[in-house]
Amino acid sequence: MMMSMPLFDGAHAMASSISRDLDSSAQTNELRSSVRQDSFPETPGNVVGLHLSGQGIGDAGAISVARHLAQDTDLTALFLGSNRIGQIGSQALAKALQQNSSVKHLILSNNMVTDFAAAALADMLKVNHEIGWVVLNKNLVSAYGASCLANMLLQNEGVEHLVLADNQIGDMGADALAKALSRNATLKSLFLQGNPIGERGLMAFLEHMDEFESLDTLDLRGCLTVSDTLIDALTQTAEACNVRLRLN
């Protein structure tokens, strides 16, 4: 217990200082695909972003960022990866972003975003149609969170790239996303590599791929082992539908 106190105090000290330092921290940052993963599509060369990745700000810091968003109308990207942001911080950000029209890139990779946190972000994206990039790889999103994001895609007209790699999304979540894509005309790329998706989930993409309206990139690498017959069918259907498919 005694060892945890300095960490606790330090986290709150950092959180309280964020509001004072945000203006000086806002800077132009490059969103290079190589920074995240070589398969992610390239993003615009320069965006005005708040770069706090890897700073350990936690939920308290995320709350401070959320408060700042109400005042700063110039930021177009939030780089908040690797910060141990969980449900409380995600909900605060989601609430603030409901009223924000400047942020276009939301980077929350490698945090503690659970299904309930994903649900809060999904609800926000039902009313915020300005964010084009949603990066949630390496979090704790499973079937329920994926289903909430799938439901969001039925109403959202802004998200073009959704990164859900290395989560806990299985067949049920994949099925929900595949069905949603048949009724979404905005999403261009979906990244699901490294999720425990098996035959049922991949079959859902096979069945609905010819109904996809806008998707041109689908990454399913590193999923569960499936039959060669299904892989061949997915590959052929993707080619016929002009979808860039990545498999094992």
- Supply 71's token pair: 């005042």
- According to the model, what pLDDT value does residue 17 have? 53
User: Model-level pTM?
Assistant: 0.86
Q: Single out the residue of 108, 19, 105, 113 nearest to residue 70, CA to CA.
A: 19
The third-level CATH classification (topology) of the domain covering 4-32+45-246 is: 3.80.10
* Strand ranges for the chain from DSSP E: 26-29, 47-51, 77-79, 105-107, 133-135, 161-163, 189-191, 217-219, 244-246
Output the tens digit of pLDDT for each of the chain's 248 residues: 323 323 334 444 554 455 445 544 444 343 433 233 555 555 455 667 899 999 999 999 999 999 999 889 889 999 999 999 999 999 999 999 999 999 999 999 999 999 999 999 999 999 999 999 999 999 999 999 999 999 999 999 999 999 999 999 999 999 999 999 999 999 999 999 999 999 999 999 999 999 999 999 999 999 998 999 999 999 999 999 999 999 97
The label of the residue with tokens 């449900």 reads: 87
Sorted by where each begins, the domain ranges of the chain are 4-32+45-246
**Phi (first) and psi of residue 48, to 5 degrees:** -80, 110
Can you say whether residue 96 is alpha, beta or left, with left for phi > 0 and alpha for psi between -120 and 50 degrees? alpha
